[in-house]
Structure 1
């Protein structure tokens, strides 16, 4: 009855039964009653539809990670976050830009600790790196995906500036750090594909922001939201004197809706090492009938953290061959043939981290022979190797493999 009172106030719900005898006063009264009843039902059906629509809108704008529930009796949203109850979004107005500061003072060379990053973020920051405004209806619900490999210092610097900026933009967001689990060459594009699929399992998002860990935003007016076409959010970088067209139209920081990303079949899975995947994704977007909208260079400015590229991030050896086959690969290489394994996850107030295994060949054990005699068995675990110096000996080894996946063939045209 509580729900009916919310929908209909104190209107009495009644029914009318009529006999089929025509021409009597009773039948006339019955017809009048039916007409009145149908009118009342029609009017309150409209109220009911508006109410349900408002409740659905409220539910879509509430993060699943807060385990929020709408209480019809108290007219509040009860959250597991600390602090006062959140007022229902159906009573709130759309978020505005009145807290933006414009150009920000950025020092990409500082490396704050995680306590400093948390202190720079809002006290209302929810667990697992998710946040939603409590005083207004956010523009969009955004998943920020950071492909990651051994860049802890860069991650701290990025989060130090990124969390406060996104909160000033009044965006409902979650930050996901996607780390390649193995010690092999980095495949950023494949990690982004896997993180996209995990984000879609995690919650419903309007927008996906792919964010390089070494790119620090300089202006909070550059909103982290998606549009009718994919967005290049970082068109101007200090490393290239803030000149546009610095080699890719869709790299660094990009925004794309889930539907747009699936339409392009995601990124290619073939780019091992550094470089090439951004240009390939640019082609996929145009090949799918979409176009890329860059942010204005005046506000789409970024500082890049200076760093070196170890062998895991060495340049891709076959960019020309991959470029020749990109037309043939576009429909079959990407989300459509993605294979990965989620090894585990790690959560803290600043982000959720996923450990993603994308190895096509998994080495289970290596047996080392010295002078034809087995000398050592090495059980392979990522990040756990030991080295010994052996001189004047004949060395040999055998490798036991498991979980062998067949790579997709490259089609020449």
Structure 2
């Protein structure tokens, strides 16, 4: 009897041990299952990503493309774009059409573009003053869009058109472009760009630096040399803060010339230094043209350039110095505006830019801003 009791107890005890062992094994297996399931979540994400490739959202846009754009916002573009080519040979087709240029830039909308693979370091607005230069504008757009895209820039192109036949005011148009573009986007950098200058080398980066940057070191029309000592025209880059600090351009330069020298003086008054790329990089092709009616040479600018180009001890230089000091009718307006920069820059510029906005048209390759200047011309 005692033997059977002992055997019975030991048998129950062994069943209990076996039951506990089964529970332990079951618990271990269950925990491994959930750990494995957690580890499989990334794989599940990959599966869903592949699956979502077939889900079309809107016109040709997929859910994964939307997700990729959001993910790209987390990645900065490299400091040097891998798409740069350096010096390019420019070709200007006589029969080029706007439709051709649009077809070559399918990712540009309303003149805006941003790289899909990374986040650009700056948002750059290109401002182009314009009137009666449709062919030049077409050539510039043809080359400038791929040029900027190879630099992986987040950019927008604005063409500021002066209506009417009054004297052209490049500087005031650029002030308008700055003010109107900021209504679209909080741009970091502004490139003030003549319509007849096309960049040749994409190593000439269209970004702003800690100091104002002059991009046109040389052009074909000057033998690829700086136009004159102190030249600050053609294509310049100033940050939003730099341009605001100097109160933009003067609004008082009607006709061709003078406004870029005025801007240089404003920059120097604020103890900023103008920087430039290397001469073999800052190269441009100027598309030749005749002077437009209403954009005649500003005589003050012309004489100012002569004065800058000639040595001060030359006979002609002495003659010019004599004219400066004379009280005759020739000198009454000579260099007057440039001599007044230090006194008027606070009140003549962005803060006094009056214009009538006629229209804002969103074209595929650029935003066109048309204005009228009803006074001062």
* Whole-angstrom distance in 2 between the partners of 1:230 and 1:79: 43
Aligned residue for 1:343, secondary structure, equals strand
Structure with the higher fraction of residues in helix conformation: 2
Q: Which of 49, 70, 75 matches 1:92?
A: 75
What is the match of residue 366 of structure 2?
351
Q: 1:284 to 1:99 in 2, by over 3 A?
A: same
Is the CA contact (8 Å cut-off) linking 2:136 and 2:195 kept in structure 1?
Answer: yes
1:175 aligned onto 2:157: yes
TM-score scaled by structure 1?
A: 0.65
> For the Cα contact (< 8 Å) 2:216–2:226, is it kept in 1?
no
Which residue is equivalent to 1:197? 179
1:112 maps to which residue?
Answer: 96
The CA deviation at 1:338 is: 1.2
Deviation for aligned residue 1:233: 1.1
CA distance in 2, matches of 1:252, 1:108: 20
| Alignment check: 8 A CA contact 2:171 2:259 kept | yes
**Residue 81 to residue 338, structure 1, CA distance change in 2 (3 Å):** farther
Q: Tell me how far apart the structure 2 counterparts of residues 304 and 245 of structure 1 sit (CA, whole Å).
A: 12
Cα–Cα, structure 1 residues 202 and 313, in superposed 2: closer, same or farther, change >3 Å?
A: same
Structure 2 CA distance for partners of 1:168 and 1:326, relative to 1, 3 Å = same
Shift of 1:332: 1.4
Residues 108 and 303, structure 1, Cα contact 8 Å, conserved in 2: no
Structure 1 residues 309 and 90: CA distance shift in structure 2, 3 A: closer
Deviations 1:193-218 (CA, angstroms, capped at 9, x unpaired) = 01100011111111001110000110
Encode CA deviations 1:321-366: one digit per residue, 9 max, x unaligned: 21222222222111121111211111111000000112217xxxxx
Q: Is 1:325 matched up with 2:340?
A: yes
Partner Cα separation in structure 2 for residue 142 and residue 212 of structure 1: 16
Q: Deviations over 1:280-322 (max 9, x none)?
A: 1111100112111111111110000000103311012445221
CA distance in 2 between partners of 1:223 and 1:328 (Å): 34
Secondary structure of the corresponding residue to residue 284 of structure 1: helix
Q: Distance in 1 between matches of 2:125 and 2:282?
A: 19
Post-superposition, which runs of at least 4 consecutive aligned residues in structure 1 deviate over 2 A?
78-86, 89-96, 107-111, 244-249
Secondary structure in 1 aligned to 2:61? coil
CA distance in 1, matches of 2:155, 2:230: 26
CA contact (8 A) 1:206 1:258 kept: yes
Conserved 8 A contact 1:185-1:312: yes
Q: CA 1:179–1:80 in 2, change beyond 3 Å: closer, same or farther? A: farther
Once the two structures are TM-superposed, the CA of residue 182 in structure 1 deviates from its matched residue by 2.1
- Distance in 2 between the 1:168 and 1:289 partners? 33
- How many residues are paired up? 284
User: Shift of the alpha carbon at 1:124?
Assistant: 1.9
Shift of 1:113: 0.7
Structure-2 change in CA distance of 1:265 and 1:120 (3 Å): same
> Is it true that 1:215 corresponds to 2:197 in the alignment?
yes
The answer to whether the Cα contact below 8 Å between 1:108 and 1:216 also exists between their aligned partners in 2 is no
2:369 match: secondary structure:
strand
In 1, Cα distance between equivalents of 2:153 and 2:254 = 33
SS of residue paired to 1:293: coil
1:375 aligns with: none
In 2, the alpha carbon distance for the partners of 1:248 and 1:80 equals 53
Equivalence for 1:67: none
Which of structures 1 and 2 has the bigger CA Rg? 2
The answer to whether the 8 A contact 1:111-1:154 is kept is no
Distance 1:313 1:228, change over 3 A: same
Distance verdict in 2 for CA 1:93–1:261, change over 3 Å:
closer
The partner residue of 2:288 within 293, 297, 306 is 306
Equivalent positions of 1:149-298 (< 5 A) are 149-246=131-228, 248-298=230-280
Structure 1: distance between partners of 2:88 and 2:252 = 37
* Structure with the bigger percentage of strand: 1
2-structure distance, mates of 1:281, 1:113: 35
Question: Which residue, 104, 118, 126 being the options, matches 1:144?
Answer: 126
Distance 1:132 1:333 in 2: 35
Q: Please tell me the root mean square deviation across aligned C-alpha atoms, in Å.
A: 2.1
Q: Tell me the SS of whatever aligns to 1:250.
A: coil
